């Protein structure tokens, strides 16, 4: 059975997960807007490819971090049920 402290901790972790997701989404949206605001010539350039690769890497990092947080939450919940 979960204790009040564990529940409080899990709530904080959930809040941090949401904050991380929102912040990373904001960063990615800003990058997308910046890309769209650039000229068509720039969008077809090597710099644009590098820009897109970095955006993809940021997305991957976000996904990995969120997965890890979810996994940690699940493990904590499993432990508290023992």
Q: What is the pTM of this model?
A: 0.85
Closest CA to 21 of 31, 29, 11, 10: 29
SS3 2: coil
CB 69, CB 20: distance < 8 Å: yes
Residues 3-56: pLDDT tens digits? 888 889 999 999 999 999 999 999 999 999 999 999 999 999 999 999 999 999
SS3 65: helix
Task: Summarize the chain as % helix, strand, coil (round to 5).
Answer: 90, 0, 10
Residues 49-59: pLDDT tens digits? 999 999 999 99
């Amino acid at each position: 059975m979960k204790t009040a402290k564990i529940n409080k901790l899990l709530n904080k972790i959930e809040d941090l997960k949401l904050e991380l997701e929102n912040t990373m989404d904001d960063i990615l949206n800003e990058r997308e807007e910046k890309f769209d605001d650039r000229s068509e010539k720039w969008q077809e350039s090597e710099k644009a490819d590098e820009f897109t690769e970095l955006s993809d890497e940021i997305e991957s990092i976000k996904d990995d971090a969120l997965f890890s947080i979810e996994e940690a939450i699940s493990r904590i919940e499993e432990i508290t049920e023992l």
